[in-house]
Amino acid sequence: MHDDRHSDDNRHEDRIQEIAGLIQQSERILFITGAGLSADSGLPTYRGIGGLYNDQHTDDGIPIEAALSGDMLRQRPDITWKYLLQVENACRGAGHNLAHRIIAEIEKIKPHSWVLTQNIDCFHRHAGSRQLIEIHGRVDQLFCTACHYREEVRDYAHLTPLPTCPRCHSIIRPNVVLFGEMLPEDAVLALHREMQRGFDLVFSIGTTSVFPYIAQPVFEARRWGGKAIEINPDTTEVTPFVHYKLPLRAVDAMSRIWRALGYQLPV
């Protein structure tokens, strides 16, 4: 009886060698990352924030998307903050993983590489990525909804259930894109600028690619004369359009690619 897993592994190995070759030949690489990358750090992946809620309603009887929306923050900030604090608490203590570090290392050897992430956890930043587009914002920045007050925080442990501004006592909020809100203009402009320059290689890692701005660079890769690679155990919106599919978790795939490039794993 032959072992299917073994033949799968060999097939992956051939692809991994080819992908390592493509990295070596490429100048500009784009890494598009989603919740599946941070899942390897132990973060829940609820459509972007974790297996925390899945398809169930919250204990307030409303979908999590409604609780974490811009509208709810305006009307009932206590509800939005209740779930922001739950989500942050579930993620607290986690940090970047080997896949984040390898992506940052690739940027060092390929300095025209960029990361486009949907994750708000700042793990790419902490792992050392510099050319970073945090398209959904970052959880470690808080700002006042009324005045110019801003602060950077390590976590939300010190916050009250409904945090207010120390200056004007209005509601403060995290610098993240809530459901129904616009994307940050500076991030959109940076993405547009880099897309106009094009990329030789586009990685889609741990994202379902349901948002057009996340899927588009994968579709554009052919027009740029580049290649697209997907790392995801699941089939997604972009799976039919990539040149290489590795149905693996992010840390497993990126570790094997990094070793195929001939490097020791970063500590």
Task: Output the CA angle 9-267-232, nearest 5 degrees.
Answer: 35
- Cβ(116)–Cβ(217) below 8 Å: yes
Q: Is 170 helix (H, G, I), strand (E, B) or coil?
A: coil
From 6, 136, 148, 169, the catalytic residue: 136
DSSP 214-261: HHHHHHHHHHTT-EEEEE-SS--TTGGG-SEEE-S-HHHHHHHHHHHT
Which distant-in-sequence residues (6+ apart) come within 8 Å of 252 by Cβ? none
Buried b (16+ CB within 10 A) or exposed e, 131-165: bbbbbbbbbbbbebeeeeeeeeeeebeebeeebbb
Is residue 136 annotated as a catalytic residue, yes or no? Answer: yes
User: Which residues, at least 6 apart from 257, have a Cβ–Cβ distance to it below 8 Å?
Assistant: 16, 19, 20, 23, 102
For the chain, helix, strand, coil in percent to 5 are 40, 15, 40
DSSP 203: E
The answer to whether 2 and 15 are in contact (CB under 8 A) is no
Residues with catalytic roles: 136
